[in-house]
Amino acid sequence: MRFSIVKVGVVSCVAAGLFCGVASAETGQTLNSASSYNDVTLNVNLSFQEINQLLTSAAIKADIPPEVVKAVAEKESGWKHFDENGDVIISEDGGIGIMQITNQSNYDEEKLKTDIIYNINAGIEILNSMYERSDLPKIKGADRQVIENWYFPVMAYNGTKPVNSPLEQATSAVNNHAYQEQVFAFIEENSFLGGTQLGEFPFSTADFQYNPASDENITFLTKEYTLTDTHESAYFFKKDDRVVVTEENAKLRPQPSTIQSGFSLSEHTALVVTGDFVYDQDMNSENRFVWVPVKTADEKYSGYISSAYIKKADNEPETIPPTSFTDVSARYQDAVSFVVSKGVKGMPDNTFGIGANIKRVDAAVMIAEVLDLDIESAPDSGFTDVPERAVKHVNALKAKGITSGKTATTLDSHSEITRGELAIWIKRAFDLQASNGELPFNDVADRYTEAVSALVYNNVTNGTSDTTFGTHDHAKRGDFALFLHRAAQ
């Protein structure tokens, strides 16, 4: 902390049980908690992952997102408590150690210097007291585990001074120099991967009252904000929780480390948490995340995934009413109900046509309906053989890059589509990632290899036998419904 902050009446960290599972360096004991690290000496700089463990464990015990605590420690000290000579780091304004505790008479100054665990817990307790302040704004409907809800407590950790105003008063521009903006930038950089941006507050200069030339604290006139995009901490998942992958080609590792190569997962892959998270096996790794043990929803694969690559799955979708088609068996019921809910039509005789072959034009309509493509604004495809009822759907498919037709001017609309051709369309439609592994099928030509691999890899289909995909077989409407349902999940 660079600015003096209001003193708060706090209970002793020891009395509050904040040291449960760890020991103070004053006692000469070693770190004892969920990790596999042994005989940790606490009066010298620890390894990166030992610091990761201390910050994470203390944050979780205080019910604060570890992402927030880690970023505060990054901003304050770069995760350093001692310098290269073994002396505690003390800033010019008197900030002590890893959490840069300043002007806090409630804490033992000597222990703040000598005991990194005491220092971390003191910082966390101060941060928590800022969350409890009634004069600081909150996010409507958000709880403690929502990262964005700590924006103002993080500001107050440093000081609610004009220098930390979220907006420049004169220009209304975002104040990127504000302490909390820098901390939240660290969260985006180190706790998420793939350019994730935290939710933005709809700030106005009218929300804050202060004199830029004064050192008086900011008065917050707006006490509650509504954010449309927030992020829950990835550290509070429990066994059997459902999560989804947030990044294309996220790695599912055999061990909790990046040392070994992993199995690539597609964005939106559904996973199930199988246990408590663990820390990186490489103690000098500078990864700030933890590893979550998971299995794929179909239970085919399991391993460890970075907490930076997952988020809580959305609520289960509303149950889709079963269809009343007379030819839909239990095997197809969920898939047919799904595509029908998207606008796909059945046959005039009250059947879906489970075993019927599909014309290319009808397959195009089904994909466009399931993807909910914009069929009104897509440019003309240039195909001259598309019936009027399907022109807009085919236009949308070509604009999306799903098909380029059989020739520049024909879709070959009335030909029956093959499983191989359908594989190409589905891969493109859902942007499915192919595997690097070798396919077991002997009927897949080079043209179809990547598409077939993508369907198999993403559990859309396993082929017609152990050795054949049925590449040149005509696709059936029932199987197509299954493919669309699985690809969309």
Domain of 253: which CATH number?
2.30.30.40
Pairing of strands 291-296, 302-306: antiparallel
Whether residue 391 is contained in a domain is answered as yes
Measured CA angle at 305 (ends 299, 310), to 5 deg: 95
207 in the same domain as 166: yes
206 in the same domain as 335: no
Rounded Cα distance, 148 and 348, in Å: 53
pLDDT, tens digit (0-9, with 9 covering 90-100), for 346-388: 898 889 999 999 999 999 999 999 998 989 999 999 999 999 9
Q: What's the distance, Cα to Cα, between the start and end of the chain in Å?
A: 46
306 in the same domain as 355: no
Whether residue 343 is contained in a domain is answered as yes
Tell me the two tokens of residue 22.
Answer: 């760890």
Which of 172, 198, 232 delimits the end of a domain? 232
Whether residue 143 is contained in a domain is answered as yes
361 in the same domain as 289: no
Whether residue 79 is contained in a domain is answered as yes
418 in the same domain as 349: yes
Domain of 166: which CATH number?
1.10.530
Residue of 96, 51, 99, 57 whose CA lies nearest to 75:
99
pLDDT, tens digit (0-9, with 9 covering 90-100), for 99-155: 999 888 889 999 999 999 999 999 999 999 999 999 999 999 999 999 999 999 999
Q: Which residues contact 59 (CB under 8 A, 6 or more apart)?
A: 65, 66, 68, 69, 70, 124, 235
Residue of 346, 364, 340 whose CA lies nearest to 421:
364
Q: Is 292 strand, coil or helix?
A: strand
Whether residue 22 is contained in a domain is answered as no
Give the domain range for residue 157: 43-232
243 in the same domain as 107: no
210 in the same domain as 195: yes
Which of 286, 312, 338 delimits the end of a domain? 312
- C-alpha torsion angle, residues 121, 124, 126, 129 (rounded to 10): -130
Q: pLDDT of the chain along its 489 residues, tens only?
A: 543 333 222 222 322 322 232 322 222 223 333 333 333 345 456 888 999 999 999 999 999 999 999 999 999 999 999 988 889 999 998 999 999 998 888 899 999 999 999 999 999 999 999 999 999 999 999 999 999 999 999 999 999 999 999 999 999 999 999 999 999 999 998 888 656 789 999 999 999 999 988 889 999 999 999 998 899 999 999 998 999 988 888 889 999 988 878 888 888 888 999 999 999 988 888 888 899 999 987 777 899 999 988 988 875 544 566 778 899 888 898 899 989 988 899 898 889 999 999 999 999 999 999 998 989 999 999 999 999 999 999 999 999 999 999 999 999 999 999 999 999 999 999 999 888 878 999 999 999 999 999 999 888 988 899 899 999 999 999 999 999 999 987
Rounded Cα distance, 390 and 393, in Å: 5
Rounded Cα distance, 355 and 242, in Å: 34
Amino acid at 483: F
Whether residue 35 is contained in a domain is answered as no
262 in the same domain as 353: no
186 in the same domain as 123: yes
Which of 205, 232, 259 delimits the end of a domain? 232
54 in the same domain as 179: yes
Total domain count for the chain?
Answer: 3
Whether residue 32 is contained in a domain is answered as no
98 in the same domain as 225: yes
Q: What is the pTM assigned to this prediction?
A: 0.59
Whether residue 24 is contained in a domain is answered as no
160 in the same domain as 109: yes
pLDDT, tens digit (0-9, with 9 covering 90-100), for 259-292: 878 888 888 888 999 999 999 988 888 888 899 9
